[in-house]
Structure formats: structure tokens, C-alpha cells
Amino acid sequence: MRSSFTEEACKHASLSQLKDLCEEIRAEIFRTVSVCGGHLASNLGVVELTVALHRVFSFPADKLVFDVGHQCYPHKLLTGRADGFSTLRKFGGISGFPKRAESEADCFDTGHAGTAISAALGIAKARDLKGENHSVIALVGDGSFNNGLVYEALNSISILKTNVLIILNDNGMSISPTVGGAHEILGALKEGTADAPRDISFLESFGLHYMGVYNGNDLDELLPALEEAKERLKTGCVLLHVTTKKGNGYAFSENAPEATHGISPQKGTGTEYSRVLGEELCALAERDGRIAAVTAAMTDSLGLRAFFDRFSERAFDVGICEEHASVLCAALATQGIKPYYAVYSTFLQRSFDEIVHDVCGQDLPVTFCIDRAGVTGEDGETHQGVFDLSYLSFIPNLTVAIPKNLGEFRAMLRLSASFRHPFAIRYPRMGASEEDILPKTPLEIGKYEVLHSNTSDIAIIAAGERCLSIAERCVRRAEAAGIGITLVNARFLRPLDERLLRSLPQKYILSAEDNVLFGGLSSALDRFYAGSGKQLLHFGFEEAFIPHGTVEELFRAFGPSEEKLMAAIEECHARG
Amino acid sequence: MRSSFTEEACKHASLSQLKDLCEEIRAEIFRTVSVCGGHLASNLGVVELTVALHRVFSFPADKLVFDVGHQCYPHKLLTGRADGFSTLRKFGGISGFPKRAESEADCFDTGHAGTAISAALGIAKARDLKGENHSVIALVGDGSFNNGLVYEALNSISILKTNVLIILNDNGMSISPTVGGAHEILGALKEGTADAPRDISFLESFGLHYMGVYNGNDLDELLPALEEAKERLKTGCVLLHVTTKKGNGYAFSENAPEATHGISPQKGTGTEYSRVLGEELCALAERDGRIAAVTAAMTDSLGLRAFFDRFSERAFDVGICEEHASVLCAALATQGIKPYYAVYSTFLQRSFDEIVHDVCGQDLPVTFCIDRAGVTGEDGETHQGVFDLSYLSFIPNLTVAIPKNLGEFRAMLRLSASFRHPFAIRYPRMGASEEDILPKTPLEIGKYEVLHSNTSDIAIIAAGERCLSIAERCVRRAEAAGIGITLVNARFLRPLDERLLRSLPQKYILSAEDNVLFGGLSSALDRFYAGSGKQLLHFGFEEAFIPHGTVEELFRAFGPSEEKLMAAIEECHARG
């Protein structure tokens, strides 16, 4: 069956054969995602669209840029990756996102929202400069259409004077349902309301020819539309507006597109930090009318559904607009509101300037709840949260906290509620559920905790639940081998607990963090202990883009693993 | 005269007295900027608008948020800062940008583009939550209207359900003339073309009531328009579109708005790095058809005018869209084009995610030419370039170069032309002109240069022209005092010249960089020398937001000054 998964098949099949091919692709995606996890609903939605693209265009000669890339599985299946598809998102296997290194048919790596039109324009401009003559297509979901980067690219069309085909894949969803003015405009277009002609001609004033709205799950409609778009592309930029149904073809997924947007192969044990975030913010908001919550299109995965339901007037999902979310929080904070901005580590990168310029520059009490910190696993390079400690560590006025478990996370959220400066808390997805109890002594800013005390030569300073649990296991194994270890919970990267660090008598200081090994805890300790004569050994992630795999595999291959830490302990002990 | 610079005066004056007040304000701004430097044309353009705002609204009860803030001088003069105005942009004096710390009438600090509507929405939402009842106004230049953040905020209006007045101050310019689709739409509105009604109603579909176009330099038109806007604001968001003339009232400034946008009190001696950038990129482009240049609305101040004139098909000014510029460069690079993205250090922060995710994540040969690195002086906190080494130092695949002079900068640009990976070169505004000669030995990636060699106990490792010239002076003073110093030019932050660093026999290692003292050169050396027994002493900028002042004042007060370095040398020498 898989031998039919080729562009050739798309080009030469009859329409009814094409429809069969779509069903086969759909079945293959469903089968694979059921085992490997991945993005189900979004990929099921674009099967017909992708098959139609491969019938009308020719890849890799033509270039297809995905926005985000949650829709690239059918394209992967049709471009030589069907045979390896059972390794999807597995360590060493096929990536769940477009990857130039994987196939010539993937022309631009993506993962974050809003990049595709910029990228397509750049590729097209290069084509023009080189005198080449292929088509360049950006496939963009409607969720991305409220992102500022998309708008910056649209603004550029009249500057760059090149031709790209922008396919707006409108399924009414990003990960959460799409929100905001842009969404309403797309709604008017789809429904053909009285506003539709105006909105069309507005889009055209950016230099786009608008074609729509087509049913993107119907090959009979799609194929002639794409042929027409290809023709029009010779003389200008085209925006082809198609509607698709997320999860198309599978009733469960169609009915629960949010739940089936991303599917994990296994849920893992323990409790999600996001659950504690949601609970605690609700409890805080109950007592304190100043507490507000802000998210950028990820209400559910950040644990904020209950908050949004109960405190809707203080809950803001601004769409995939991470920058705007930060400025909004800064402004709320100037007026005495206490905003909590919940966001994934990797996506907060998009807001770096606003953290510096708007929040910390004004020393405003905004709390950043940074979920999916450290490696996130199967999504790979573009989604790992291994840079946050480095890009937050030098920003003046910012406190950076790293909870050791769910209980400490809860305590940090409470602490931040009365804190009058910018506050960042970074945490991984999963925590051990039995640890959801508050710390025994009240949490203080910049105060560390000694978990094991020993007068021997070796101390481990570890940050965050994953690294502390690795360190705990090492401490136990070392003890069994007669090596006593001091273990410190480095709850804050900023400020350091200088008094505690100064008091450590150990000769060997081992650090562990799930961040790259520069700019985070390791650099802070290097600075603190410079010239002290202590021997420092740091364990964290390699300064590299970490590929996909399970969290455990990634720790072992690239990170602060138990094995590496244990080997260092034994070596330090042997050296004495 | 200055006693008339009050809101009360605006409220109670006759129309003809108001016009006189405008002339007095204009004269005061011209007089002050002639001495202190500052933003002339943009402030002259909004005198009438600001006076009208103070007549119709009441500050600080009402809130006025400036976008960027190049237009805040009249507001400062009218809100209690006329007497201190002669200290404008001077160390310890009045800031050239809005500052909450300076006056209650400044409700939100700004400096980077596109934040005002987000901020106004947040302030208004907080007002609603607190049951208050004042007006919130965002004053935004048309240049910012192509920035993605503005669009993200507009998208949010229908989500936030609050009322703000957005005044679009349309002078057809950012620092360079405004470009792109958004600009063309504004043009249609101004000219009242056939497209105008459509563009108006499109803006309204974001939830804005559009009012325009009014002559913003004419009080007779402005006052009733503002009164109407104030009334409409009770029931919704209003976009008031006014046109103003940059430099209004001064013929020279009107005719040369780019040249008089920002005026330096004195130009300083030496040559601008931007001149060398422009020359060298033209020379490279002459020989190599792959070379392209990209800027975000700052062609002239980055030295790229000649390149844009000579190689217009490979020169792209995308407007104030720093994020899009990076993705565009990444995409061009995937196709074999060799883009140079020239940008100010502080504005490149806006593109941090795209540097990580799009350029370095794909290991693409984009060269970032990072101008105005280190402290920039009179613009203050929001414009200092003291974070770039910290936010670039941990990004995988990125090479970070810091030239010691104009000649070395030229050599780095040449080197990057054949380099196949991401490359960043960061440099200050001014260089010593006599140093514009190429290095004697060919430049190699990661290779340092020993400028003075001595077997004594003290070595200085310094990066960049400013710190190296301070270090040179210290070396000479130390020599005169009989202390021999080794001085190393740390041309690259990434990669370090590990071989050279390892070979240094000195006990005391002093470092100097014009960056905050964490995450940059100091941290790299702390890591490299950890456990070596060497004594490290680092000189750089305090981890703080550095206020305005001359570059020299800021180095002395907050930075790696000659005095501090010399004192450390003497102390090390005394300790032996």
C-alpha cells in the first residue's frame, strides 16, 4: 500500500483513486499517531489539500513552507518518508515537524507560529534573484493569522515585489479556538456576510489576489482552485482561503479537536504542573481581586480552563501573540493588577524584548509561569525549553525561580502574589504527584534548601524537579557506596543564595540543570566560585539544538543524566 | 514664558493664545535640542496635537501612552518639566523618552516601536476592572503601524472589550520613510482614494471606530475632532487618524526630516562603523551577486544608503519589522543568497526567537551586523546595547565577533562572506578613523590577538574598540609605573580562543567588555578558567538598566572605566 504514497501517484491517479489515496494516508496517520503520539487533528484535516498540492505542483522543485508544521505528515508520507513513518517522533526517527535535514522536500524548518509567509517571501525573492522559476507556497493555519509576524510579512509583499501562494488553512482553531479581530474577519469571509467583499479587497490592498472560500476537504473543489491559483501566481501573490475540518474523517477527533490536537504516546506518571497552576491561581484569585491570567492561545494545555471559566473578566487569551501578551501584562501591572502570564518556555522566546523593555525595564510585578521548561521530548528542536535560564538570567529586576516539586511551585505562586517585581517561575510538564505539599519552612526569595547535608568533599547543587530527582538517586547510590553527599535545592537562579553557597565547605561542587550549559546555573556558579579553589563540574544540556525523543532518552544522550553525575561523583571521591 | 507651559494654560487659553503657546513650545524645543541633541522633527510635528490633547483631556488622570516616545517633548513641557528642560538627555537630567519615574503624567515607559496600543489596552482594562473612569490614549506614529506588535494589539480589541483612543500620527515617516502595505493603506485613507471607504471599514472590523483624516498641525480642525473622539470613546475604541508634518514650523527640518529626526549634541570624533559597513558591503556585493542587505526602517543610520542605491534589487528595508527581517534572511540563506541584516543592538532583541528558531536552528549563513552595541548614550535605558553578548552567547551554531577597530570590522565582514554559518558582529557607533586598516595577519574564526605581551602577573582580555582603548591606556599608564601587562584582543565571544587562553601564564586575568557582567565575556572566562587557580576580575556594565548620559559618563558611572581598571591593576600588582 505504501508504494502508492508518492507524488507520481497524486499526479496520475483518477479522481476516485485520489480519494482512495486520501483515505489510505488518513488511516496511516491515525495508525501511526495512535502508537507514536503526534498531531492528529491538524494532519487529518489537510490530507486532501496536501494530495491536491502534490498533483498540481512538483516538489522539491516547487517549495512548500509550513507554518508551525502541525500539518506536515501527509507531505512527509508523499515525499519518501512513508517507510520510516513508524519511527515518527521517536529518538533518531522521523521528526514531527518539517526538517531540511530529513528531506529536500522540506524547504524550511518550522515549529513556532507565523514564520511561513516571511520564509516563503525570502525563498521566492531568492528565486527571482537567481532567475529561477518555481512556485513557492506558504501553508498557514488561521491561528497564526493573528500573529504579528504574519502581518509583518504581509506588509512586506509590496516591498519585495515577488510572487508567493499563501494558502490559509482555516479550521477555526489554533491549539485553542482562534480568537480576535483577524478571526472575525476570516469568519465574515467564510460566511459570505455583507462585510466579506470589503475584507477581501482590504487583503488585496496588501498586494494579494484573494481566492476563496473553498472546501479544503473536497478534491473536486480544491483541484481547480489550485490550478487557478498556480496560473495567477505567475503575475502576483495569491491568498487562497480554504476551510478544513480539524480531525476530518475521524468522528472522535472532529468532535474534540483540542483534545486530539497533540497526542502523547503515553501520559507518563505523576501530575502536570499546569494542574497546580490552575488550582493555585484560582485560589489566589478567589481571595485577591487583582489577580489576572493571560495566555497566548493555550488556555487548556497551561491548566487555565477553570480560571477562565470562573474569572472570565480577569482572564485573557490573546491568540498566538506572545509579544502583545507581555506588554499587556506590563500595562495591567502599572495599574495595580497582578497578571500571571502562562506560556511555554520555547514560545516565551518570542517575547524576549518585551520582557526586557516593557516588564523588567519598568520593574513591574508580572509573573511569568513558564511551562514545558527543560526538554519537552517528542516535538524536538523547535520546542525544547533549554534556553530559558540563559535568556532570563541577566535581565535586571527579574527574579527567576525553579521549583523542586509541585508543592514548592504552589508556594512560589503564593509568594509571587505579594511580590512587587517581575517574577519568573520555570517548570517542566510533569511532576511527581505525591510531592504536592507545601515546603515545611516558608519560602523566601533567594533562599536555597539543603536536602542532604554531609561534611564530605562533594556537594551537588541542582535546580528543578527533574535534576533534583536525578541528584537524589545519585545521593542514595553514593551513600550505599559509602560516599556522603550534600545536596542543595537551588530554588532561585536570580538571586543566588550567596550566604548558603559561601558556607559550603565541599571541594567539589557539581551542578545540575535542564538548560544549556552556558548562561544558566552553571555560569552563575562559575562566577560565584571563581577564584575560590573549588572544583566545579557542571551537568546540563549540550549547547546544541536537541532533537526529538523521550525526555529520558534526551537526558541520557544530551543532558544531565544519572549515569554522568554518578560517574563524576565516583571520580571526585577517588581523587579525594 | 515657561510659566505658561501648563495644562491649565491649554484649557483656558483662547484659540489665538493656544497658537501662541504652540509657537513658544516649538521655540523651546528647537532651542533645547540645538544644545542637548534629541528628536527634533518628530517633536516639532506634534506640538499642536499635544496642546489639543491637554485642552480636551486631563493628565495624569487620563493616560497618554506614546509609541516609541520620539514625540513626548511637548507633553513633558506641559507637565511640570519645562524648568528642567535644559537638562534634556543629560546625565541625571530629563529623559528624552517617557519615564514613569520622572512624572505621573508619563504612564508607560517606551522606546521600542509598537508597544503603545498593547499598553493602552492593558491600562484601560485595568481601569475597567477597578471600576474607574478615565480616558486612555495611545499616540502611535505611522511607522509603527507596520510592526507586528501593533497588529497583535489590534487583533485583541475584540477580545479585551475595552475602550481606548488610538491616535495615528501619520507623518509618512518612521526614521526612514514608512514602507509596505500598511503604509499604502494609510495613503489611500489620506488621499481619499476610491479604496478609502473599504480600508476604513476594514479597520472598523477590528472593533475600531475610524475618524479621519484631520490636519494634526491645525488646532481648528483638531480640537473638535478630539472632542468628538472623547465622546465616542465612551462607547468603543476610536482610531483618530491625523496627519502631521515632521519638523513642522522649521523649514530646514521640514525639508530634511530624516537628517533631523535624531540630532546628536556633538558628533564625536572618528568614523562611524556604519560608514565602513556600507563601503564594505558595496565592495562585497560588487564581486559577489549573492550578497544582500536587509534593514528594519533604518537604512541611513546603518550606513546602507549607497548599497540600497546601487544594489536595489538585493536591498530590503522591510519597515519596523525586526522579526520578519530575520526570517526573511533565513529563507534567503536557504537558497544560497548571503544576507547581511543590519540592526541596532537593542532592536535586535525583538528578533531573539527568530535568531534562535529560524536562523541558528537551521544553521544558516546569515550575518547580523549589530550596530550601537554597548551603551549608546543619550537615549537612555531603552536604547543601550548592553545585553547583546548575553543573549547571543548561548545560541548554538552562532559565531559572535567583536571588532577592535574599523579595519578589523572590515576584515570580519569579508570573513563572513565565505562563512557558512550564522555570524554576528557587534560594534559601537563610533570608531577611531585612523584605525581603518586591515589586520596584519588574516583573521581566523575564534583566533585572538595579543596586543601587548609581558610575562608579569597581569593580563587584560578585552573585547571591542571602546574597552580595548581603555585597556591600552591602562597598559601605558601601568608601564609608566613599572607594571608590565599582557593585553589580549578577544575578537570572538564564540568560539573562544581556548588555546591562547590556556597559554596565558598570568595569575590575574582582568576582562573588559561593554556588556552587562553576566552571560557575556565575563561568564565565558569564568567557565574557561574555573578551577584554574587564576584570579579573575571582570569589568563591564552593572546588571541594571543604564540611564541616559554621554557614553563617557556612563562608562565612568556604570561601566568598565579606565579608573576602575587601573585601580584593579595597581591592587593586583601590590598583592603580587
Nearest residue of A to residue B100, measured between CA atoms:
A362
Q: Are residues A303 and A427 in the same domain?
A: yes
Q: Is A191 within a domain?
A: yes
Which residues in B lie closer than 8 A to residue A327 (C-beta atoms)? 115, 118-119, 122, 149, 153
Sheet holding B399-401, edge to edge: B315-317, B291-295, B338-344, B367-371, B423-426, B399-401, B492-494
Report the gap between the CA of A17 and the closest CA in chain B (Å).
35
Nearest residue of B to residue A162, measured between CA atoms:
B313
Task: Look at residue B502 in the predicted model and tell me its pLDDT.
Answer: 97
Question: Which candidate in A127, A246, A404, A491 is catalytic?
Answer: A246
Q: Half-sphere exposure of residue B129, counting CA atoms within 13 Å on the CB side?
A: 25
Residue B177 has pLDDT above 90, yes or no: no
Answer whether the bond into residue B547 is a cis peptide, omega within 30°: no
Q: What is the DSSP string of B238-254?
A: EEEEEE--TTTT-HHHH
The burial class, CB within 10 Å (0-12 / 13-18 / 19+), for B138 is buried
Answer whether the bond into residue B396 is a cis peptide, omega within 30°: no
> How far, CA to CA in Å, does A117 sit from each of A66, A140, A195, A470?
9, 8, 25, 43
Task: Look at residue A576 in the predicted model and tell me its pLDDT.
Answer: 85
Residues of chain B with pLDDT > 70: what percent?
A: 98
Q: What backbone torsions phi and psi does residue B80 show, to the nearest 5 degrees?
A: 85, 10
Cβ distance A185 to B205 less than 8 Å, yes or no, reads yes
CATH number of the domain bearing residue A455: 3.40.50.920
Cβ distance A181 to B155 less than 8 Å, yes or no, reads yes
Predicted confidence band at B98 (pLDDT cuts at 50, 70, 90)? very high
Residue B96 has pLDDT above 80, yes or no: yes
Q: Are residues B89 and B22 in the same domain?
A: yes
CATH number of the domain bearing residue B22: 3.40.50.970
Give the pairing of strands A485-489 and A449-452: antiparallel
Cβ distance B357 to A111 less than 8 Å, yes or no, reads yes
**Spatial contact of A389 and B391, defined as CB atoms under 8 Å apart:** no
| Distant-in-sequence, close-in-space partners of B486: CB < 8 Å, separation ≥ 6 | B450, B452, B453, B454, B456, B458, B459, B460, B504, B506
Q: Is B245 a catalytic residue?
A: no
**Spatial contact of A95 and A109, defined as CB atoms under 8 Å apart:** no
Task: Look at residue A175 in the predicted model and tell me its pLDDT.
Answer: 64
Cell of A204: 488585496
Report the gap between the CA of A1 and the closest CA in chain B (Å).
34
Question: Which candidate in B55, B127, B246, B491 is catalytic?
Answer: B246
Which residues in B lie closer than 8 A to residue A544 (C-beta atoms)? 396
Q: Are residues B185 and B238 in the same domain?
A: yes
Q: Is B261 within a domain?
A: no
Q: Is A513 a catalytic residue?
A: no
Residue B434 has pLDDT above 60, yes or no: yes
Q: What backbone torsions phi and psi does residue B471 show, to the nearest 5 degrees?
A: -65, -40
Question: Which candidate in A272, A280, A322, A449 is catalytic?
Answer: A322
Cell of A418: 505579594
Secondary structure letter of residue A175 according to DSSP: S
Q: Are residues A430 and A453 in the same domain?
A: no
Nearest residue of A to residue B347, measured between CA atoms:
A353
Closest CA to B74 of B97, B51, B57: B51
Q: What is the DSSP string of B471-488?
A: HHHHHHHHHHTT--EEEE
Mutation site for A-interface testing, chosen from B155, B389, B543 by largest number of A Cβ within 10 Å: B155
The single-letter code of the amino acid at A497 is D
Cβ distance B155 to A381 less than 8 Å, yes or no, reads no
Q: Are residues B409 and B453 in the same domain?
A: no
Interface pTM, i.e. ipTM: 0.96
Q: Are residues A281 and A422 in the same domain?
A: yes
Rounded to two decimals, the pTM is: 0.96
Question: Which candidate in B7, B24, B102, B322 is catalytic?
Answer: B322
Q: Are residues A286 and A364 in the same domain?
A: yes
Cβ distance A151 to B148 less than 8 Å, yes or no, reads yes
Q: Are residues B132 and B21 in the same domain?
A: yes
Q: Is B442 within a domain?
A: no
Mutation site for B-interface testing, chosen from A145, A151, A511, A529 by largest number of B Cβ within 10 Å: A151
- Per 3-state DSSP, chain B is made up of helix, strand and coil in percentages (nearest 5) of 45, 20, 40
- pLDDT, one tens digit per residue, over B396-413 is 999 999 999 999 999 999
Cell of B572: 593586583
For residue B376, give its domain range.
271-435
Q: Are residues B345 and B483 in the same domain?
A: no
Which residues in A lie closer than 8 A to residue B195 (C-beta atoms)? 201, 205
Which residues in B lie closer than 8 A to residue A321 (C-beta atoms)? 152, 155-156
Last residue of a domain, one of A199, A226, A255: A255
Q: Are residues A418 and A284 in the same domain?
A: yes
| Distant-in-sequence, close-in-space partners of B53: CB < 8 Å, separation ≥ 6 | B64, B75, B137, B226
Q: Is A514 within a domain?
A: yes
Task: Look at residue B162 in the predicted model and tell me its pLDDT.
Answer: 96
Residue B206 has pLDDT above 90, yes or no: no
Q: Is A563 within a domain?
A: yes
Give the largest CA-CA distance in chain A: 81
Last residue of a domain, one of A376, A406, A435: A435
Residue A323 has its nearest CB partner, among B152, B329, B535, at B152
Task: Look at residue B167 in the predicted model and tell me its pLDDT.
Answer: 97
Which residues in A lie closer than 8 A to residue B122 (C-beta atoms)? 327-332, 334-335
Cβ distance B146 to A155 less than 8 Å, yes or no, reads yes
Which residues in A lie closer than 8 A to residue B533 (C-beta atoms)? 533
Report the gap between the CA of A77 and the closest CA in chain B (Å).
22
Ordered per-residue pLDDT tens for chain A, 576 residues: 467 899 999 999 999 999 999 999 999 999 999 999 999 999 999 999 999 999 999 999 999 999 999 999 999 999 999 999 999 999 999 999 999 999 999 999 999 999 999 999 999 999 999 999 999 999 999 999 889 999 999 999 999 999 999 999 998 766 667 777 778 878 887 887 777 777 777 778 788 999 989 999 999 999 999 999 999 999 999 999 999 998 887 776 677 777 777 777 655 678 999 999 999 999 999 999 999 999 999 999 999 999 999 999 999 999 999 999 999 999 999 999 999 999 999 999 999 999 999 999 999 999 999 999 999 999 999 999 999 999 999 999 999 999 999 999 999 999 999 999 999 999 999 998 777 788 888 899 999 999 999 888 999 999 999 999 999 999 999 999 999 999 999 999 999 999 999 999 999 999 999 999 999 999 999 999 998 999 999 999 999 999 999 999 999 999 999 999 999 999 999 998
Q: Who wins on pLDDT, B221 or B436?
A: B221
A-B C-beta contacts closer than 8 Å: 363
Angle between helices A181-191 and B148-160 (to 10 degrees): 80
When divided into structural domains, chain A yields a total of 3
**Spatial contact of A316 and A343, defined as CB atoms under 8 Å apart:** no
Q: Is B254 within a domain?
A: no
Which residues in B lie closer than 8 A to residue A151 (C-beta atoms)? 148, 151-152
Report the gap between the CA of A13 and the closest CA in chain B (Å).
32
Task: Look at residue B356 in the predicted model and tell me its pLDDT.
Answer: 98
Cβ distance A536 to B533 less than 8 Å, yes or no, reads no
Q: Is B102 a catalytic residue?
A: no
Cβ distance A184 to B393 less than 8 Å, yes or no, reads no
Task: Look at residue A197 in the predicted model and tell me its pLDDT.
Answer: 75
Q: Which helix (H) or strand (E) holds B139?
A: strand B136-141
Q: Is A346 within a domain?
A: yes
Cβ distance B353 to A390 less than 8 Å, yes or no, reads no
Q: Is B512 within a domain?
A: yes
- pLDDT, one tens digit per residue, over B328-352 is 999 999 999 999 999 999 999 999 9
Task: Look at residue B192 in the predicted model and tell me its pLDDT.
Answer: 80
Q: Are residues A422 and A535 in the same domain?
A: no
Q: Are residues B48 and B193 in the same domain?
A: yes
Cβ distance B394 to A349 less than 8 Å, yes or no, reads no
